[in-house]
Structure 1
Amino acid sequence: MELSCKSEYALLALIELSLYYSCGEPLQIRQIATQQNIPDRYLEQLLATLRRAGLVKSQRGAKGGYLLTREPWKITLLEIMGCIEGFESTERKPSEGAESAVVCEIWQEARQAAEAVLARYTLQDLVEKRNAKRQMNLMYYI
């Protein structure tokens, strides 16, 4: 299992939006792209996907941009990953044979474990971990 570039960029963009959630100001695509080093065009597509899923909203106008639709502590990573990667319940019937049944059972167990971890964490958790890591880096250089 690997974190796709698409998912990583989406999470980075949402972290950036989370940082500005409390002030209620929308962020423009170029602001997010610059801060998180994400290509503008790609970010535009990701934000459209997140908007369709109801995780962000867009605001038009000179002071327009994107905002989270809910508090960062109410948006789980499972929700985000489901939106970006299209998680679906994939209860597959194994092919004939014990070997195939065992492989399907283990894969299902691994998927459930991954989903449980993603459901435990929110955008707010990512922001707090980011802040703690930045604080540690500052302390290291002093």
Structure 2
Amino acid sequence: MELSCKSEYALLALLELTIHYQSGEPLQIRQIAAQQNIPDRYLEQLLATLRRCGLVRSQRGAKGGYVLGREPWKITLLDVVYCLEGQDSQPSERDSAPKTLESAVVREIWQEGLQAANSVLQKYTLQDLREKRDARRQLDIMYYI
């Protein structure tokens, strides 16, 4: 499994929204894009997908923008990945009967790996991501002083 560019950008955008969650003020696409170095047009598409999944809400108007759709401690990283990438971790109908013993063993181990990855992503929330970021930032500040 690899972290796709789409998922990484979405997580960075959601992290930015999480950082500003307490203020309740929406962030505009250009603010998020500038802060996280994400192309504006691409971010616009990602936020539209996240909005359809209920992970973000958009607010219209001069002071409009995007806010999280739920509390950051209720949005798991797996929610984000499933929203963007789909739930393609399950084998399809045609793949249900492997042709060889070796193929069956490979698929079994691959499924175990996918389940382990899903378990880790389900364990962490956007709030955890923010806390890890804040802890790392604190370590960096202490290191440079």
- Do the two structures share a fold, i.e. TM-score over 0.5? yes
**Matching residue's letter, 1:135:** Q
Counterpart secondary structure, 2:58: strand
In structure 2, what is the equivalent of residue 16 of structure 1? 16
CA distance in 2, matches of 1:39, 1:62: 22
- Deviation (angstroms), 1:88: 3.2
Kept in 1, the 8 Å contact 2:26–2:63? The answer is yes
Q: Contact 2:17–2:67 (CA<8 Å) still a contact in 1? A: yes
1:90 to partner: Cα distance: 1.3
1:104-139 per-position Cα deviation (integer Å, ceiling 9, x unaligned): 101100000000000000000000000000000000
Unaligned runs of 5+ in 2: none
- The Cα of 1:41 is off from its aligned counterpart by 0.2
Aligned partners of 2:6 and 2:88: how far apart in 1?
17
Q: Is 2:83 the partner of 1:77? A: no
Moved over 4 A (4+): none
Secondary structure (helix, strand or coil) at the match of 2:79 reads: helix
Structure 1: give runs of 5+ residues left out of the alignment. Answer: none
Name the amino acid aligned to 1:121: Y
In structure 2, the partner of 1:127 is: 130
* Secondary structure of the structure 2 residue equivalent to 1:132: helix
Q: Which residue number corresponds to residue 36 of structure 1?
A: 36
3-state SS, counterpart of residue 38 of structure 1: coil
User: Structure 1 residue 106 and structure 2 residue 128: aligned?
Assistant: no
Which position in structure 2 is the counterpart of 1:139? 142
Equivalent residue pairs, number:
142
Aligned to 1:52: 52
Contact persistence 1:29–1:44 (CA under 8 A): yes
Secondary structure at the counterpart of residue 67 of structure 2? strand
What is the SS of the residue equivalent to 1:104? helix
Identity of aligned residues (%): 72
- Partners of 1:27 and 1:65 within 8 A in 2: yes
User: What code does the residue aligned with 1:95 have?
Assistant: P
The TM-score, its normalising length taken from structure 2, stands at 0.95
Q: CA deviation at 1:89?
A: 4.8
Residue 6 of structure 2 is aligned to residue 6 of structure 1:
yes
After superposition, the C-alpha distances for 1:43-100 in whole angstroms (9 at most, x for unaligned) are 0000000000010010000000000011100000000000111123513414211011
TM-score of the pair, normalised by structure 1: 0.97
Aligned residue type for 1:80: V
